[in-house]
Amino acid sequence: MTELTLSKAIGTGLHRALAEDDRVVLLGEDIGTLGGVFRVTDGLLAEFGSDRVMDTPLAESAIIGTAVGLAFRGFRPVVEIQFDGFIYPGFDQIVAQVAKMHYRTGGKVRMPLTIRVPYGGGIGAVEHHSESPEAYFAHTAGLRVVTCSTPQDAHTMIRDAIACDDPVLFFEPKRRYWTKGDVDEDASYPLEKARVVVEGSDVTLLAYGPLVQTALDAAIAAGDEGISIEVIDLRSLSPLDYDTIEASVNKTGHVIITHEAAEFGGMGAELAAGITDRCFFRLEAAPQRVTGFDIPYPPARLEEHFLPDLDRILDAVDRVLGRTNSLTGWTK
């Protein structure tokens, strides 16, 4: 057990992957000499050399596209997209090539790419540096989409993602990069599986990535008012672990989904539909979503109004339980 930041936990995961499999190669902008703008790949160039840790020219489509070619040749590329909002120039290569190659070739060509994407807001950044584009990729057949919320998962999941024979979009909650936690390098947990972080009996609160901590804070605050919230860290967004979700909702009868990404067509919409389909007769209220608004990511001085926070989650708890809002006095 070692105490690591989430960022360092990914770094040690990458280190292990590079050390254990010589077909693993890292590609990205500024990942070598600089160690990445978030220092996730710090020290890897010095140890493994520029053949394994490649600083690339600034072209996201080419970073993904050349990784496709490397995968064709049996490499296991790990690509870093510097910021969430920079992924779109690579969108075609991801959704039209990476995602479809295994299907297109009848299973002859595998695409064991891992595409690392620091994502989400809360860091006071400028445009294109705070986005949550996960739903685009979860919507795309052929891709797996996962996201971590703790240093332990960061380490375990990046190694599992790299080992996976399918392409994996690995979303890293950038505002939690400096969260510290114990990491057991030998721990294991299925990549597809959600995790019940805190058990509860009144409300199921589904969160992932940066908002898992916010959800935990909300659960503690609600607990003070005698409401028992079960927090589930989804971990995998494609596929979704409906077994775990279903078991929880069947227990609580109330569900709240929270994410930073916009509400419309987001993960919350899929979850609400999937849960309604599976747990319709057990639900006591409509699933509630606490999400970013359907607007472009706002300027930094407005992001506190955009990002779901503890109070907005508690407001949803009140709504889903039909209670009076303890702050505003409003009723559902």
Q: Verify binding: residue 195, another protein, rule CB under 8 A.
A: no
**Least Cβ distance, residue 230 to another protein (angstroms):** 21
Choose among 300, 190, 193: nearest CA to 236: 193
Which residue in 1, 96, 187, 220 binds another protein (CB under 8 A)?
A: 96
Main-chain dihedrals φ then ψ at residue 32, nearest 5 degrees: -90, -95
Nearer to another protein, 15 or 100 (CB): 100
The CB density around residue 164, as the number of other CB atoms within 10 Å, is 19
129 is catalytic: yes
Torsion of CA 22, 24, 30, 35, to 10 degrees: -60
Site size for another protein (CB under 8 A) = 49
- Give 54 or 262: the residue with its C-beta nearer to another protein: 54
Q: Which of 37, 62, 123, 269 binds another protein (CB under 8 A)?
A: 62
Which C-beta is closer to another protein: that of 69 or that of 299? 69
57 binds another protein, rule: CB under 8 A: yes
- Collapse the DSSP code of 85 into the 3-class scheme (helix H, G, I; strand E, B; otherwise coil) and give the result: helix
Q: How wide is the angle at C-alpha 239 spanned by C-alphas 238 and 242, nearest 5°?
A: 130
C-alpha 114/C-alpha 159 separation (Å) is: 10
- Give yes or no for residue 107 binding another protein (CB under 8 A): yes
The reply on whether position 61 binds another protein by CB under 8 A is yes
149-178 binders of another protein (CB under 8 A): 164-166
62/285 with CB nearer another protein = 62
Q: Is 104 in the site for another protein (CB under 8 A)?
A: yes
144 near another protein (CB under 8 A): yes
| Site for another protein contains 279 (CB under 8 A) | no
93 near another protein (CB under 8 A): yes
> Is residue 284 a contact residue for another protein (CB under 8 A)?
no
Dmax (CA) for the chain in angstroms is 62
Q: Is the dihedral of CA 324, 326, 330, 332 positive or negative?
A: negative
Q: Per-residue x/- marks for another protein, 237-276, CB under 8 A?
A: -xxxxxx---------------------------------
Are residues 209 and 243 in contact, defined by beta-carbon separation less than 8 angstroms?
A: no
51 scored as a contact of another protein (CB under 8 A): yes
Catalytic residue among 15, 102, 128, 129: 129
Out of 68, 115, 117, 227, the only residue in the binding site for another protein (CB under 8 A) is 68
In this complex, which beta carbon is closest to another protein, that of residue 100 or of residue 128? Answer: 100
- Going through 98-198 in order, the beta strands assigned E by DSSP cover 114-119, 144-147, 168-173, 180-183, 195-198
For residues 262 and 293, what is the distance between their CA atoms, to the nearest angstrom? 5
d(CA 73, CA 52): 15
**Radius of gyration over every alpha carbon of the chain, rounded to an integer in angstroms:** 20
Quick check: bond before 308 cis, omega within 30? Answer: no
Residue 92, interface with another protein (CB under 8 A)?
Answer: yes
| Residue 217 binds another protein, judged by CB under 8 A | no
Rounded to whole angstroms, the Cα distance separating 281 from 273 reads 13
Q: Does 109 bind another protein (CB under 8 A)?
A: yes
Q: Is-contact 233 194, C-beta < 8 A?
A: yes
Q: Indicate which residues carry an active-site annotation.
A: 129
Which stretches of the chain bind another protein, using CB under 8 A? 25, 51, 54, 56-57, 59, 61-62, 64-75, 89, 92-93, 96-97, 100, 102-110, 112, 141-142, 144, 164-166, 192, 238-243
